[in-house]
């Protein structure tokens, strides 16, 4: 009954059709999965073959062999599109310009590091009132070049293939070079004079400057103020300031208390220009002391004491590598208690050698005068020893040798004339020997300052304290008169 029913037959046929359709789709899906797996395995084989070909054929690589410089950083970046490894320098981001540049070579780095302290020197030199002790400054200037020299040797030993080069240390501030780079005038660098100094009456005057009695507001003490109003020669003023900062701190060298600048709106304003604050030596100069003695003569004992103190100061100048160039009685200062100090460093130079022709002709050594006639010559600190010998002869005898000669005759006498010697025969053998040693024309045979300390004329000085007291009494008598 049910088999012949057409409705039941139709349902059975539909079920059979659905079963066959599902089986067909099932086998179709399985076939698609097999095709995908076979395709993936084929792609992997092709990638492996491609990588093998790249390893076997290095000529297709775009990485060119280039010499590696010191400080150069190399990084490998793989491009996604080509799959080829390329060597690229790692970009370095500059803070100021924002551009990408490769690292500089060591020589360029050294030059850059030398210029950095020059810029910072302008700020430090302007704050001259808070001064450091000179001993610390000297130690810092002597130790830093040694550290930088050691690092330069490390760079040389590492060779050209070294990647990480050591950075040079921060250099000490140098006031002398702060102007050479930016050409900034002293009026914009130094603090204002009126805020730190009170300027009093004139106590001395030279061709290019005036010396005033003054009061240092920060230190609360009397000082001597040297005022220079010559903006066209600021280079020489900068050198003098640097030398004063370098030599100050020794008991036989005049103390330096700072530099300031008076920015006056009008040219006719008094006290305008550079003001150098220095120690006030109320005893005057050795020349002033000579003028109060009979025949302007100080005698051998006073001269021996003064020369000994000056020699100690010259030993200090030799240590810090400064040549004075103008040792003479008028530049040797006295305190009220009889201490002797070297002053006026306007002609001084820095370094072990110099070719300067500055100074006073009568006291100049032959090697210094030779630089006037021939270029490419230089000399050392022993030129100051010659000047000391001429000064000692003047202090004992009361007048300068060759004082009646013209400039041309004086130069020829110093260069080619006989050796300088005392005029009178009444002086001791030790003094004659001292002059003979100081004014030897060959600087190689001339003793140094340290050697002169052991000379009999200096070392045999008896009762040095009594000589100092007698000089102080002479100064007091001079003030009363």
Question: What is the sign of the dihedral through the CA atoms of 343, 344, 347 and 351?
Answer: positive
Q: Cα–Cα distance between 100 and 112 in angstroms, integer?
A: 18
Annotated catalytic residue within 23, 43, 110, 326: 326
Helices 234-247, 134-158: inter-axial angle, 10-degree rounding: 100
- Known active-site residue 326: yes
Q: Strand pairing of 74-78 and 85-89?
A: antiparallel
- CA-based Rg of the chain, rounded to a whole angstrom? 42
Only one residue has tokens 């000056």, namely 310
Task: Render the burial of 1-12: b for 16+ CB within 10 Å, e for the rest.
Answer: eeeeeeeeeeee
And the tokens for 252? 């036989």
Q: Cα–Cα distance between 312 and 35 in angstroms, integer?
A: 102
Closest CA to 278 of 197, 347, 339: 197
Strand extents, DSSP E, 80-179: 85-89, 92-93, 100-101
- DSSP secondary structure letter of residue 281: -
Give the Cα-Cα-Cα angle 120, 126, 127 (nearest 5 degrees): 100
Helices then strands, counting H and E runs in the chain, come out as 14, 13
Q: Which residues contact 234 (CB under 8 A, 6 or more apart)?
A: 179, 185, 186, 274
And the tokens for 130? 């808070």
Closest CA to 180 of 144, 234, 141: 234
Strand extents, DSSP E, 171-255: 197-205, 210-216, 221-228
And the tokens for 20? 């066959």
Q: Cα–Cα distance between 151 and 157 in angstroms, integer?
A: 10
Q: Cα–Cα distance between 387 and 420 in angstroms, integer?
A: 12
At 194, give phi and psi (nearest 5°): -65, -20
Only one residue has tokens 């070049």, namely 145
Instruction: Tell me which residues are annotated as active site.
Output: 326
């Amino acid at each position: 009954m049910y088999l012949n029913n057409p409705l039941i037959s139709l349902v059975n046929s539909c079920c059979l059709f659905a079963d066959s359709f599902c089986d067909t789709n099932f086998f179709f899906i399985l076939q698609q999965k097999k095709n995908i797996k076979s395709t993936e395995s084929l792609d992997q084989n092709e990638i492996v073959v491609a990588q093998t070909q790249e390893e076997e054929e290095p000529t297709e690589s775009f990485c060119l062999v280039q010499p590696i410089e010191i400080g150069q950083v190399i990084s490998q970046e793989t491009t996604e599109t080509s799959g080829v490894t390329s060597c690229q320098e790692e970009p370095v981001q500059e803070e100021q310009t924002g551009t990408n540049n490769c690292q500089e070579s060591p020589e360029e780095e050294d030059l850059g590091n030398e210029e950095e302290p020059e810029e910072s020197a302008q700020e430090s030199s302007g704050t001259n009132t808070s001064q450091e002790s000179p001993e610390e400054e000297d130690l810092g200037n002597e130790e830093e070049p040694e550290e930088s020299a050691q690092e330069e040797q490390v760079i040389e030993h590492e060779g050209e293939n070294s990647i990480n080069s050591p950075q040079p240390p921060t250099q000490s501030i140098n006031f002398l070079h702060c102007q050479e780079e930016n050409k900034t005038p002293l009026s914009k660098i130094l603090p204002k004079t009126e805020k730190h100094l009170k300027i009093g009456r004139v106590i001395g005057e030279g061709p290019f400057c005036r010396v005033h009695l003054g009061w240092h507001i920060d230190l609360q003490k009397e000082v001597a103020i040297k005022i220079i109003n010559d903006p066209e020669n600021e280079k020489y003023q900068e050198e003098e300031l640097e030398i004063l900062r370098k030599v100050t701190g020794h008991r036989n060298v005049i103390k330096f208390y700072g530099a300031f600048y008076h920015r006056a709106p009008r040219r006719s304003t008094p006290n305008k220009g550079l003001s150098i604050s220095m120690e006030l030596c109320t005893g005057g100069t050795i020349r002033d002391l000579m003028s109060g003695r009979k025949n302007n003569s100080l005698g051998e004992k006073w001269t021996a004491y003064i020369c000994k103190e000056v020699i100690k100061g010259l030993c200090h100048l030799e240590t810090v590598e400064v040549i004075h160039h103008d040792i003479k009685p008028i530049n040797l200062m006295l305190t009220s208690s009889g201490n002797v100090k070297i002053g006026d460093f306007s002609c001084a130079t820095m370094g072990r050698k110099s070719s300067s022709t500055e100074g006073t002709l009568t006291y100049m050594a032959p090697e210094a005068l030779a630089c006037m006639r021939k270029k490419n010559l230089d000399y050392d600190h022993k030129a100051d020893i010659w000047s000391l010998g001429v000064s000692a002869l003047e202090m004992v005898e009361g007048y300068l040798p060759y004082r009646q000669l013209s400039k041309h005759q004086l130069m020829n006498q110093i260069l080619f004339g006989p050796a300088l010697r005392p005029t009178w025969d009444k002086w001791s053998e030790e003094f004659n020997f001292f002059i003979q040693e100081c004014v030897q024309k060959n600087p190689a045979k001339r003793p140094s300052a340290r050697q002169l300390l052991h000379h009999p004329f200096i070392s045999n000085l008896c009762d040095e304290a009594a000589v100092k007291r007698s000089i102080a009494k002479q100064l007091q008598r001079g003030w009363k008169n």
